[in-house]
Homo-oligomer: A and B are copies of this chain.
Amino acid sequence: MLDTSPSTRVNAVLSRLDEALVKGDIEGAVDLFATDCYWRDLVTLTWNLKTMEGRDEVRAMLQSQLARIAPRGFVQDATQAASEAGGVTDGWFDFETAHARGYGHIRIRDGRIWTLLTTMSELKGHEEPKGIRRPLGAEHGHDRDRKTWTEKRAQEARELGYETQPYVLVIGGGQGGIALGARLRQLGVPTIIIEKNARPGDSWRKRYKSLCLHDPVWYDHLPYIPFPENWPVFTPKDKVGDWLEMYTKVMELNYWSSTTCKSARFDEAAQEWVVTVEREGKEVVLRPKQLVLATGMSGKANVPTFAGQDVFKGEQQHSSQHPGPDAYAGRKVVVIGSNNSAHDICAALWEAGADVTMVQRSSTHIVRSDTLMDIGLGDLYSERAVAAGVTTRKADLIFASLPYRIMHEFQIPLYDRMRERDKDFYDKLEAAGFMLDWGDDGSGLFMKYLRRGSGYYIDVGACDLVIDGSIKLKSGSDVSHLTEDAVVLKDGTVLPADLVVYATGYGSMNGWAADLISREVADKVGKCWGLGSDTTKDPGPWEGEQRNMWKPTQQDNLWFHGGNLHQSRHYSQYLSLQLKARMEGLPTPVYGLQEVHHKG
């Protein structure tokens, strides 16, 4: 073969893969993979989010799934040129299965598949009504029983949950529930989203007033309606709230605000949930087939227990309850914690004229926002990426194509560059007594987020206040106890306080399952989030994917959805397709169901 352009190489491997899979030649297919290979499948072959690592795992998966799924038609995407860098050729492809159409990404090294990503785009016969399939809106012709769009929508809103039952109930109406709800509506899956607050977006509006998204706009788009090009880089919290509210309205979601879930149990006989909710003060019993907890991976406040909390006479708040600084000018505030919320709250309190002390109990990873935008996200999510033709969808898929097992290897060099660029800054922070880390293996912020969902601050200004002593820092000692008017550290330091803020993070989402369903179900499902990386707060064994997120769990018909706006956008696609397939009664043979190694 004389012509060895990247596209030719991609085409050759895809053709052979297609041929082997169509023939049922599993060994032939496995032979196309390198020894250290990764096949990440999002719902197409495995009806799961699953990464097969190494040829043996690829073989085992194909042995289980190949005949049932019938993948075929692997064809390079003619609109996306393949490319090569550093001995790795990468390209994009279309494919299909018996019931779905998919899209994928491939990396080839030494003529063999190094990484393969297969993702589901749509279910055959159940395509979304968009583009050429969009609804007509008007009903032309004449019909004496005509109901207008508005009348039909009002009827649906009135009857759903009372005269008719939703197929899916989503508990939690933040960005996660809303993005999922939007996709489910487009797929024609009757869905109710319940939310304890009065308006969509309130979970953002109610946070401390200086809060802005820490992720930039290119990373934050919702499905269907991207933010406009004049949208700010870091959206202020109330503006996120307003966007979510309008989105909920124009996407016509069945969104029950001011509604709380009182209890849920799975009726094995009927194979459906019995969920009691209180909607605007009235009890309603819902019987959805599927239950999604989208209560937020930062939803279940983690409040530490210290001796003396009962005798302390000032105010105590978890960071999620902190209203902002306005009432605390001239007051003494002790903030326990040193991650994002702690820094944001400390800075806002200092700006308002409070006397603020931050108690750093363990080391924290710090990255300056500008540096993170440039080095950490710039290739995928930035104006630069947009100008280079990297659409949001493409960026999401490129990111998804990196197997979790080796993702840190891609991340470490980026954080080495950040450390180098901002050396003076870090030196000053350490001189101020701040305990820094870069993750157990130096892989930085995003790996910390995926592994433990905590342990970092994206600096937007608070570090300078720590450096110059405006925010007082006590690091290296934990809290011993509280007195009537102070926090006492184990090293004996007494920190007088009118207010104590516990910026101590959040617990695993299966805590919600314990509260709403039962401890038994929560334990059966086990911990949510984390990769099993055997690093701090993410105990092994290795899972290969984030635990229990967006995929089947050990509890039938129970799902967890959440994460940042990027994840809410991207993974809602796969969760919505899994739910739709079940509603339509399509075969959904799950391969490699999540095992449970930790209870929460």
Chain A interface (Cβ < 8 Å from any Cβ of B) = 128-132, 134-138, 140-144, 146, 148-151, 186, 209-210, 212-213, 217, 224-225, 228-239, 242-243, 245-247, 249-250, 347-348, 350-353, 369-370, 383, 386, 460-462, 464-465, 470
Question: Do the beta carbons of A149 and B351 come within 8 Å of each other?
Answer: no
In the complex, the answer to whether A134 meets B236 with C-beta atoms within 8 Å is: no
Residues in B with CB closer than 8 Å to A236 are: 137-138, 148-150
In the complex the two chains form, what is the Cα distance from A187 to B296 in whole Å? 38
Chain B residue contacts of A465, Cβ below 8 A: 142
Do B350 and A229 touch across chains, with their CB atoms under 8 A apart?
no
Q: Are A242 and B233 in contact (CB under 8 A)?
A: no
- In the complex, the answer to whether B186 meets A230 with C-beta atoms within 8 Å is yes
Chain B contacts for A235, CB-based, 8 A:
137
Q: Which residues of chain B are within 8 angstroms of A213 by Cβ–Cβ distance?
A: 137-138
Which residues does chain B contribute within 8 Å of A138, judged by CB atoms?
Answer: 212-213, 232-234, 236, 460
Given A351-B144, A461-B141, A464-B141, does the pair A229, B149 have CB atoms closer than 8 Å? no
Beyond A137-B235, A234-B138, A236-B149, whether A130 also contacts B229 by CB under 8 A is yes
Tell me the bound Cα distance from A350 to B236 in angstroms: 51
Contact pick for A246, options B132, B210, B246, B460, CB 8 Å: B246
B351 near A142 with CB under 8 A, answer: yes
Chain B residues lying within 8 Å of A230, measured Cβ to Cβ, are 128-130, 134-135, 186, 224
Q: For A140, what are the chain B residues with a Cβ–Cβ distance below 8 Å?
A: 369-370, 460-461
Q: List 21 A-B contacts (CB under 8 A).
A: A130-B229, A134-B229, A134-B231, A136-B232, A136-B233, A137-B212, A137-B217, A137-B232, A137-B235, A138-B213, A138-B232, A141-B460, A144-B350, A144-B353, A148-B210, A148-B236, A149-B232, A149-B238, A224-B228, A245-B249, A246-B249
Using known A-B contacts A130-B229, A229-B134, determine if residue A142 contacts B234 with beta carbons closer than 8 Å.
no
Contact B464 A350 (CB under 8 A): no
The 9 closest A-B pairs by CB, nearest first: A137-B232, A246-B246, A138-B212, A149-B236, A138-B234, A137-B234, A150-B238, A141-B461, A140-B460
Shortest A394–chain B CB gap in Å is: 17
Copies of this chain, tallied across the complex: 2
Closest chain B residue to A471, Cβ basis = B142
Question: What residue of chain B has the Cβ atom nearest to residue A142's Cβ?
Answer: B461
Q: Which of B148, B243, B353 contacts A250 (CB 8 A)?
A: B243
* Chain B residue at minimum C-beta to C-beta distance from A152: B236
A146 — which chain B residues lie within 8 A by C-beta? 210, 348, 351
Given contacts A137-B236, A142-B464, A148-B209, contact A132 B383 (CB under 8 A): yes
Q: Kindly list chain B residues whose C-beta atoms are within 8 Å of the C-beta of A217.
A: 134, 137
Closest B residue, CB atoms, query A243: B250
Since A142-B465, A246-B250 are in contact, a sample of 17 more A-B pairs with Cβ atoms closer than 8 Å, ordered by chain A residue number, is: A131-B383, A132-B383, A134-B232, A135-B232, A136-B233, A137-B212, A137-B232, A137-B235, A137-B236, A137-B239, A138-B233, A144-B352, A150-B237, A186-B230, A224-B230, A245-B249, A246-B246
A351, B143: Cβ atoms under 8 Å?
A: yes
* Min CB gap A130→B, angstroms: 4
Q: Distance in Å from the Cβ of A446 to the closest Cβ of chain B?
A: 20
Name the residue in A350, A351, A470 with the highest tally of chain B Cβ atoms < 10 Å from its Cβ: A351
Given A137-B212, A137-B239, A149-B239, the answer on whether A142 and B233 have CB atoms closer than 8 Å is no
Q: How far apart are the CA atoms of A369 and B151 in the complex, in Å?
A: 23
> In the assembly, what is the distance between CA of A3 and CA of B460, in Å?
57
Q: Assuming the A-B contacts A141-B461, A236-B149, are A228 and B229 also in contact, with contact meaning beta carbons closer than 8 angstroms in the complex? A: no
CA distance A209 to B143 in the complex (A): 14
Chain B nearest Cβ from A457, distance in angstroms: 13
Given the complex, which residues of B lie within 8 Å of A245, measured CB to CB? 246, 249
Q: Pick from A140, A210, A237, A238 the residue with the most CB of B within 10 Å.
A: A140
On whether the beta carbons of B225 and A228 are closer than 8 Å, the reply is: yes
Taking CB atoms, residues of chain B closer than 8 Å to A370 are 140
Residue among A134, A238, A369 with max Cβ neighbours from chain B (10 Å): A134
Nearest residue in B to A350 (C-beta to C-beta)? B142
Chain B residues, CB < 8 A from A225: 225, 228
A150 partner residues in chain B, CB cutoff 8 A = 209, 236-239
**How far apart are A517's CB and chain B's nearest CB, in angstroms?**
34
B residues near A151, Cβ cutoff 8 Å: 209
What's the Cα separation between A140 and B137 when bound, in Å?
Answer: 45
With a cutoff of 8 Å between Cβ atoms, the chain B residues found around residue A134 in the complex are 217, 229-233
**Bound Cα distance from A192 to B246, whole angstroms:** 22
Chain B residues near A232 (CB, 8 Å)? 134-138, 149
Q: A246 — nearest CB in chain B belongs to which residue?
A: B246
A389 CA / B249 CA spacing, docked (Å): 30
Give the complex CA separation of A138 and B232 in angstroms: 8
Known A-B contacts A142-B351, A212-B137, A460-B140; A242 and B231 likewise in contact (beta carbons under 8 Å): no
In angstroms, Cα B391 to Cα A302, docked, is 50
Which of B136, B383, B462 contacts A234 (CB under 8 A)? B136
Inter-chain contacts of A137 with B (CB < 8 A):
212-213, 217, 232-236, 239
Contacts of A131 in B (CB 8 A): 229, 383, 386
Report Cα–Cα, A246/B130, bound state, in Å: 21
| Alpha-carbon distance between A231 and B250 when the two chains are bound, in angstroms | 10
Q: From residue A330, how far is it (CB to closest CB) to chain B in Å?
A: 13
